[in-house]
Amino acid sequence: MKESVIRLFENTFREKPSLLIRSPGRVNLIGEHTDYNDGFVFPLAISYAVWLALLPSTDGTVALHAGSYNETASFHLDNIRHTGPDWLEYVKGVAVSMQGQEYNLTGWKGCILTDLPIGSGLSSSAALEMAVAMAFAEVSRLSFDPAKMALLGQQAENSWVGVNCGIMDQLASACGVADHALFIDCRSLELEPVPLPQDTLIAILDTGIPRSLASSDYNTRRAQCETAARFFKVAALRDVTLEKLQDNIKLLDETVGKRALHIVSENDRVLSTVDQLKKGNMEAVGQLFYQSHESLRDLYNVSSPELDRIVEAAMSSDGCYGARMTGAGFGGCAVALVKKEAAEKFSEQLLQGYQSKTGMQAKILLTSAVDGTKTFPVG
């Protein structure tokens, strides 16, 4: 990727870039839709990433070539408006959020290339936002505080792009730690890297059906959680215990009650997963994965038939501790924990199982946990 993005830059701008940035996507092990409820999540930065090669410019413009779309577009930092293309709006959103913090930004030209499948729930947009935040920080000589930049990326998405996402994706991309998953408290933004077991593989299972962005469904879920929190007179569902919820669930609208039950139980599952992972009890972690999937399917209603089939196929393949949909849902990917020694059998059986259930080809992306957004010297 490194060489390819440098070559793309040279072919596009007929100059050499002065800096390279790698910003990873993420996969969430467990803790789905809990981030915007001030809850707990457990993602890791993955070895699939957005790469950005760039060179500072002096005329206040940001010019960008997106390899995935074979398209070049630009905007001026003094006059940022919603004029598209869609992928550039994430870049503008980050610039606007940073300007909102009184940062004095310098322009640059750059090329982006990614091996992250776009729209598959692996946070290609958060990876782009964090790459862009790092680019602005570098060329404008600002310090890159990962948690602060993650918040600005989230703000870009909430206020400029219009998706009310939580903080998980940007934090995972910016703060990743090699060989560790990140146990994050989304209220305090406290983050604990937890070592991943060496004899277990993390397999991302791509259903081949892109996540229909479903931002309206996402925003509806968020509003339903806020309704439930208001009922309990708390800041967020993080503050409601399972017992309290169960005692009162009949008083809530049925759908709102189901949504709340997912969130409250999912928060507990994250805590148990971290605990069991630290003890090396992978069977228990696997059970928790599957319970999370059932809850997302039956209570939160964000799974899809393809996600359900791929999770079933994974669960009945050799060496699988557990599997669940990952990310927002509505299509995209699942994640499975697999015994390293059974990798080949697992892959074979998973692909065959999914195909016989759906007639479709799944893709398996094996990943390690990598460091968050960082710069590399060119050449």
- Parallel/antiparallel/unpaired status of strands 61-66 and 108-114: parallel
Of 21, 165, 184, 365, the residue at the interface with ligand GLA (CB under 6 A) is: 165
By CB under 6 A, tell whether 166 contacts ligand GLA. Answer: yes
Beta partners for residue 204, in sequence order: 335, 365
CB of 42 to ligand GLA, least distance (A): 11
Neighbouring residues of 255: CB distance < 8 A, sequence distance ≥ 6:
224
Give the strands of the sheet with 40-41, arranged side by side.
40-41, 180-185, 191-195
Residues 35, 59, 115, 169: which is the catalytic one? 169
CB of 21 to ligand GLA, least distance (A): 21
DSSP summary character for residue 38: T
The site map against ligand GLA for 9-28 (x = CB under 6 A) is -------------------x
Of 22, 33, 92, 297, the residue at the interface with ligand GLA (CB under 6 A) is: 33
Gap between the Cα atoms of 158 and 173, Å rounded: 17
> Is 169 in the active site?
yes
Residues belonging to the chain? 379
Which whole-number Å values give the CA distances from 373 to 30, 109, 133, 164, 195, in the listed order? 22, 19, 10, 23, 19
The site map against ligand GLA for 234-263 (x = CB under 6 A) is ------------------------------
Cβ-based nearer residue to ligand GLA, 33 or 92: 33
CB of 43 to ligand GLA, least distance (A): 9
By CB under 6 A, tell whether 266 contacts ligand GLA. Answer: no
Neighbouring residues of 88: CB distance < 8 A, sequence distance ≥ 6:
64, 66, 73, 75
CB of 162 to ligand GLA, least distance (A): 13
Site residues, ligand GLA (CB under 6 A)? 28, 32-33, 35-36, 165-166, 168-169, 327-328
Q: Which residues are catalytic?
A: 169
